[in-house]
Amino acid sequence: MGFFRSLGRTYIAVINLIFLILSLGLLIVGIVMRVGDKVTQKLMDKGTTKLEQALISSNLLAGANIDIDMNEFLKSAAIGVIVAGAILMVISIVGLVSALSKSACLLKLYIFICIVLLIGEIIIVILLYATSAIHKQLKKELKDGITNKYSGFSGSDVTTVIWNVVMIQGQCCGVDDYTDFKNGMAWDMTEKSGGVPKTLKTPVACCVNLPASDNLACAETLSQSTNNYDNGCYDTYWNWTIGNKAYVAGVLSGVGIFQLLLIASGFGVLTMRDESKVNHSDRRRGQWR
**pLDDT confidence tier of residue 198, bands split at 50, 70 and 90:** confident
Q: In terms of residue numbers, what domain contains 7?
A: 2-131+252-271
What is the per-residue pLDDT across 119-168, written as a single tens digit (0 to 9) for each? 988 888 888 777 778 889 999 999 999 999 998 887 878 888 889 888 98
Give the Cα separation of 90 and 143 in Å (integer). 36
Residues 104, 217, single domain; the answer is: no
How confident is the model at residue 173, as a pLDDT? 96
Q: Residue 115: pLDDT above 70?
A: yes
- Mean pLDDT for the stretch of residues 195-205: 86
Name the pTM for this structure.
0.67
How confident is the model at residue 58, as a pLDDT? 52
Residues 111, 141, single domain; the answer is: no
| Range picked from 36-45, 179-188, 271-280 for highest mean pLDDT | 179-188
Give the Cα separation of 228 and 207 in Å (integer). 6
Residues 125, 34, single domain; the answer is: yes
Residues 221, 166, single domain; the answer is: yes
The answer to whether the CB of 229 falls within 8 A of the CB of 203 is no
Residues 123, 143, single domain; the answer is: no
How confident is the model at residue 287, as a pLDDT? 47
Give the Cα separation of 251 and 253 in Å (integer). 5
More confident call, 236 vs 49: 236
Residues 125, 9, single domain; the answer is: yes
Give the Cα separation of 186 and 103 in Å (integer). 59
Residues 148, 69, single domain; the answer is: no
Residues 225, 267, single domain; the answer is: no
Exposure b/e, 210-239, CB count within 10 A at least 16 = b: bbeebebebbbeeeeebbbbbbbbbbbeee
Residues 78, 221, single domain; the answer is: no
Percent of the chain topping pLDDT 90: 28
Q: Which residues contact 204 (CB under 8 A, 6 or more apart)?
A: 60, 152, 153, 191, 210, 211, 216, 218, 219
How confident is the model at residue 286, as a pLDDT? 47
Residues 22, 156, single domain; the answer is: no
**Total structural domains within the chain:** 2
Q: What is the mean pLDDT of the chain?
A: 80
Q: Residue 57: pLDDT above 60?
A: no
